Amino acid sequence: MAPPIPESKIALSYPLYACDFDPQDSNKLIVGGGGGAGRSGVGNKITVLDASHEAIQIVSEVELSRDEDNVTSLAVGQHKGRSTLVYAGINSSAQDQEKGKNEHFRVFGVNSPSKTKVDVRQQITELARTSLFSAKETDAYQRLLRISAPHGDAAQVGAVATGLAKEAQIVLFDVAAGGGVAPKTRGKLDITKEAVDLDIIQTGDDKYQLLYCDNYDIYIMDVAKGSTTGPECVYSMPHDVATGGGRPVFRSIRYLTPTFILAVGNLPKRGGVVLWGYRLPKTGQEPGKARIAASTRLPKSVAQATGLAVVNLSPPTSPGLKQGDSQFVIAVAGHDFSISLYTLEHQVLADIDLIVNLYPLHTFKNAHHGYITGMAFSHWTPPKPTARVQFLKLASVSIGNTVSVHSIPLKKFIDKASPIKRGGPPRQPRYVVALKSKAPTMTALLVTIAVITALIGVLLQGFLEVKGATAPAQGFLAELLAEKKLEKGDNVVLLSEELGAIEDPTKPAPIRVDAHDESTHGAARTWENLPPEQKHLWRERLKAGGHWTADMGETIFKGVLFSELAGVVGQVVGG
């Protein structure tokens, strides 16, 4: 039986640290990495892969200088002619950095492959290199790189952030649709703490918003032509005042819409992973007012998250348009080499935007045999009406040299609850994941409560029976702990001496008569002839001796002679 989500995998010759899809070709995947500077045997490379087939194919590859650092970050931009622009973070050689020169920002062009050429390595060429950071330390590098989503031929804005720098910094740059390929710096932001992750979104014509976080705080900054506002802290991770324990730390963060963001965080002491959806404050509200709109906790097997990827299956056709009903697909990479998929619904009720139903979809266990260093969804644009099954691709790379591409099937969806105007156009379908997400159920909780309740009931019943506070329901515990009782009508048989040898059954049984001496024991009377006070005295003495209980009744006394001097005279009838 075929898996619900097909997977293709390929192993390359170098460790991988970043990946991204061509925004105009969901089958073109570009990856980068390497062994770093001065490490013999493992080169630094950028590879273009074709993910349209069942088996991933290498389309082109370029080997970079071994004197320089490996690729640490990567993003695919727009097309210029036949070339696809690729932006990457690569530190210069140690010799150049000692001279105060670190051209860490690189621009490559990936030409469309030609079937007539044999040497496909020449199809990737370096077009530009520059330095965007002010930091000059040799340990500093370009750790983060993000570009706003493309909208036709409109310009984009990108952002890069430092790693291991003494003075942390974020730099914004323009990605122009025309002109040169080198980035144009739009602004530099000095921050007190190094950014853990960042993202950028276009909110209107030449209007953007930067989102970044450190371990405990989330910031946003509005970026417009010729002006910026912020940064503004919109959320701080609260302290656990009750227990005094550590706070969760943010690991990754992404925009959903200009109103909502998604963050993944790691709980203290490797206690697990949580996904949070936040509603950002409206423009003009006081800072620090972002609110949690949705949240879920990953399975306990995932102790820490290492990455996050998000895609919108119904994106607006142009920036600034209001986001309608849509489904988001979310991927979270775990420390156990797993990838957890979730879906999240964006709904519009009247003028209120909501994010709901943050549900698990599927988990890829052991997606790689090493630390997952990067993930990316293919850029999704709803296609023209077609009968073909559509797929959303999720690429992931690892330090173990492997590339994996999962193809998630999609289907058309029409919300029958949405209103329709008489005489107006029919409801427009949108795409959602073909697989059904798993909504949480109360079954496990109810079963646990039932088992605990039953166990408490059994223990309480046993305790009450032992204490004599209640009669046993079936007499089990009483029968187990008490002496055997005689039923009504049975005779009391007392054994006071050992049995002798068994007599020969053929011989007549000897007859023995025990005489009753009235001078010694007093006059003997039957039970029926005893006065009430004597009966009461005998009942109490027999009960104290353990030979009679009230539920045996007085029938067993018939035929037994009793002395008024409180001594048993004899028993005429035995058996």
201 and 305 co-located in one domain: yes
In sequence order, which residues have a C-beta less than 8 Å from that of residue 443 and are 6 or more positions away?
none
Q: Is there a domain that residue 151 lies in? A: yes
Dmax (CA) of the chain: 140
Q: Distance between CA atoms of 370 and 335, rounded to whole angstroms?
A: 9
In angstroms, rounded to a whole number, what is the distance separating the alpha carbons of residues 40 and 568?
110
Q: Are residues 186 and 102 in the same domain?
A: yes
Q: Residue 233 to residues 167, 192, 214, 334, 500: CA-CA distances in angstroms? A: 19, 13, 11, 28, 101
Tokens of 143: 């750790």
The type of residue at 476 is: F
Same domain, 24 and 65: yes
Say whether both 455 and 433 belong to one domain.
no
The HSE-up count of residue 270 (CA atoms within 13 Å, CB side) is: 6
Q: Are 21 and 77 in contact (CB under 8 A)?
A: no
pLDDT of the residue at 412: 93
- Domain check: are 283 and 370 in the same one? yes
Backbone angles phi, psi at 63, to 5 degrees: -95, 125
471 lies in the same domain as 544: no
Question: How far is the CA of 238 from the CAs of 31, 215, 235, 249, 273, in angstroms?
Answer: 38, 12, 9, 11, 16
Q: Please tell me the predicted confidence (pLDDT) of residue 569.
A: 40
Examine residue 279 and state whether it is found in any structural domain, yes or no: yes
552: its two tokens: 């045996």
**Distance from C-alpha of 217 to C-alpha of 239, rounded to nearest angstrom:** 12
**If you compute the radius of gyration of the chain from its CA atoms, what whole number of angstroms results?**
42
The Cα 258–Cα 280 span in angstroms is 8
Quote the pTM value. Answer: 0.77
* Distance of alpha carbon 39 from the chain centroid: 38
Report CA 325 to chain centroid distance, whole Å: 25
Given a contact cutoff of 8 angstroms between Cβ atoms, the answer to whether 64 and 39 are in contact is: no
Beta bridge partners of 80: 83
Same domain, 425 and 446: no
Element of type H or E holding 185: strand 184-190
Same domain, 445 and 430: no
Secondary structure string (H, E, C) spanning 66-122:
CCCCCCCEEEEEEEECCEEEEEEECCCCHHHHHCCCCCCEEEEEEECCCCCCCCHHH
Task: Give the Cβ contact number of residue 364 at 10 Å.
Answer: 21
Tokens of 508: 């007549």
CB 77 within 8 A of CB 22: no
Q: Which domain holds residue 454?
A: 441-482
As given in the structure block, the two tokens for residue 83 are 């070339």
Length of the chain: 575
Q: Please tell me the distance from the alpha carbon of residue 214 to that of residue 195, in angstroms, as a whole number.
A: 5
- pLDDT score at 511: 46
Q: Are residues 246 and 391 in the same domain?
A: yes
Residue 400 domain flag: yes
End position of a domain, from candidates 449, 482, 515? 482
Q: What is the pLDDT of residue 557?
A: 72
- The CA dihedral of 164, 165, 169, 171, to the nearest 10 degrees, is -80
What gap in Å lies between CA 37 and CA 509, rounded to an integer? 114
Token pair for 336 = 């156990």
Tokens of 152: 């036709």
Same domain, residue pair 126 and 223? yes
Quote the pLDDT of residue 384: 76
Tell me: cis bond preceding 231? Omega within 30 of 0 counts: yes
Instruction: Give the distance from CA 24 to its chain's centroid.
Output: 32
Q: Give the up-direction half-sphere exposure of residue 369: CA atoms within 13 A in the CB hemisphere.
A: 6
Inside any domain, residue 189? yes
Q: Judge whether 337 lies within some domain.
A: yes
Sheet holding 339-349, edge to edge: 305-312, 326-334, 339-349, 352-364
- Written as six digits, the tokens of 306 are 């290492």
Smallest CA-to-CA distance from 77 within 177, 10, 165, 172 is with: 177
- B/e letters for 185-217, b = 16+ CB within 10 Å, e = fewer, are ebeebebeebbbbbbbbbbeeebbbbbbbbebb
Instruction: Judge if 433 and 446 occupy the same domain.
Output: no
Closest by CA to 161, choosing from 211, 124, 108, 197, is 197
Q: What is the full per-residue pLDDT of the chain (575 aa) written as tens digits? A: 456 899 999 999 999 999 999 999 999 999 999 999 986 689 999 999 999 988 999 999 999 999 999 999 999 998 888 889 999 999 999 999 999 999 999 999 998 755 555 554 548 999 999 999 998 899 999 999 999 999 887 889 999 999 999 999 999 999 876 667 889 999 999 999 999 999 999 999 989 999 999 999 999 999 998 788 889 999 999 998 877 889 999 999 999 999 999 999 999 999 999 999 999 998 666 666 899 999 999 999 999 999 999 999 999 989 989 999 999 999 999 999 999 999 999 999 988 999 999 999 999 999 999 999 999 999 998 887 776 889 999 999 999 999 999 999 999 998 876 666 566 566 788 999 999 998 876 666 677 787 788 888 778 777 776 766 666 555 555 555 555 555 555 555 555 555 555 555 555 545 454 555 555 555 677 777 778 888 888 788 887 877 777 767 777 777 676 665 444 444 433 44
Q: How far is CA 246 from the centre of its chain?
A: 20
Half-sphere exposure of residue 201: CA atoms within 13 angstroms, side-chain side: 22
Q: How far apart are CA 330 and CA 344, in angstroms?
A: 8
Count up the domains in the chain and report the number: 3
Give the pLDDT confidence score for residue 570 in this predicted structure.
42
Domain boundary among 438, 471, 499: 438
2 lies in a domain?
no
H or E, element range at 234: strand 227-236
Q: DSSP strand E in 272-314: where?
A: 273-279, 291-297, 305-312
Task: Please answer whether residues 34 and 388 qualify as being in contact, where contact means their C-beta atoms are separated by less than 8 angstroms.
Answer: no
* Domain membership flag for residue 1: no
For residues 166 and 198, state if they share a domain.
yes
549 part of a folded domain: yes
